[in-house]
Structures are given as structure tokens and as C-alpha cells.
Amino acid sequence: MTARAPSRRRTPAAPPGQADLFAPPPSAQEPPPAPAAVPLPATLPAVADDLWERLSRSRFRARFHLDAKDRAYLHRQGLQSVSGHAAEFIATRLAPAHPHKDGRQTPWRGHPVFVAQHATGTCCRGCIEKWHGFAKGQELQQPQRDYILAVIRGWLLREDPDCSE
């Protein structure tokens, strides 16, 4: 071990109640933008109509809908950008063989993709296995990630056909 840092801090912490001057400006209405570092595939696999029929028969899944805030966000960001967020969520929160906090990794609200995930059974690995047949405990491969992205995007388009690219 090297010497510990001196306990005396060069820059004192802001006293409680004082805003951090270096913090980004607060945006009360907007959900935090997800980093869209994951490239989107040029084409997405087709989603069978059968899936939408099965989902509509689930009382739990069918009760999820975008609210006004989700729609405003979707229209402001555009479907392509929001799909990039979805690809990022899939890669980081679902694709690992054993995702962190699996079963609780998808908030109920705060981003249109979260709502779409609960509506389509793509919220956690248990739901993905049940609804889409991709076994738990194995890393999701690219075609499987693309399929989940196609399902989320398909649901967003069905929910809000006017959302732009």
C-alpha cells in the first residue's frame, strides 16, 4: 500500500443545502438520457403477430401503456434514438448470463423503454425465458438481442404509431 491521501481536503465539500456548482442543470421533466453507445443493427428480425396476441391475453402485460410524459420523450428524442437506449439497456441489463439484480433491473417507469419491457416480457431474464424462450443463465447472443430490440421497438410503434424516426 502506498501512503494514504491526506485527510485534509483541498476543496471543501459544499455545505448541506448548497447546490453543487459543477452539477449539470436539473431537468425535472426529463428522464436521464441513456448512453446510446450500442450500434443499432441495419435490419431487425420480424416479430410474429402471435406475440402481440399472446401479450394482449395477459392481464398483467396488457395494462402497461405509455403516459403523456413517455410520449413527449419519445417524440422529442425520436424512435431511432430511443431504440439506441433500448439496445444499451439490453446489452447492459439483460444480456449477461447473470445480470445484476435480475428480476428487479427494470424500473416500472421513467423511460418509455422500461414500460415497453414490462409490456412485452423483456424486463428480466425470467420473463424473457417465459415469453421468448431464451434460456436463463446464458449470455444473450446478438440475434437474440436484436430480436428483443425488435419487440420493444415494435411495441413502441404499436403504442404510438406517430412516433418519428
The DSSP code sequence of 112-132 is HHHHHHHHHT-SSHHHHHHHH
For the bound state, the minimum distance from the C-beta of residue 98 to Zn ion, rounded and expressed in Å, comes to: 15
For the bound state, the minimum distance from the C-beta of residue 143 to Zn ion, rounded and expressed in Å, comes to: 21
Q: Distance (Å, rounded) from C-alpha 164 to C-alpha 39?
A: 19
Task: Identify the sign of the CA torsion 109, 94, 160, 34.
Answer: positive
Name which position in 47, 66, 124, 151 contacts Zn ion (CB under 5 A).
124
Is residue 123 at the binding interface for Zn ion, with CB under 5 A as the rule? yes
Instruction: Give the nearer residue to Zn ion in terms of CB position, either 85 or 125.
Output: 125
For the bound state, the minimum distance from the C-beta of residue 129 to Zn ion, rounded and expressed in Å, comes to: 10
Name which position in 119, 127, 140, 163 contacts Zn ion (CB under 5 A).
127
Instruction: Give the nearer residue to Zn ion in terms of CB position, either 79 or 124.
Output: 124
Instruction: Give the nearer residue to Zn ion in terms of CB position, either 56 or 60.
Output: 60
Question: Which residue, among 141, 147, 160, 162, has the nearest Cα to 51 in the 3D structure?
Answer: 147
For the bound state, the minimum distance from the C-beta of residue 144 to Zn ion, rounded and expressed in Å, comes to: 16
For residue 131, give the C-alpha cell: 415469453
Instruction: Give the nearer residue to Zn ion in terms of CB position, either 56 or 164.
Output: 56
Q: Within its chain, how far is the Cα of 153 from the centroid?
A: 11
For the bound state, the minimum distance from the C-beta of residue 20 to Zn ion, rounded and expressed in Å, comes to: 35
Q: Which are the contacts of 51, defined by CB distance < 8 A and separation ≥ 6? A: 120, 131, 151
DSSP annotation of 163 reads -
What does the binding site for Zn ion look like in residue numbers (CB under 5 A)?
Answer: 123-124, 127
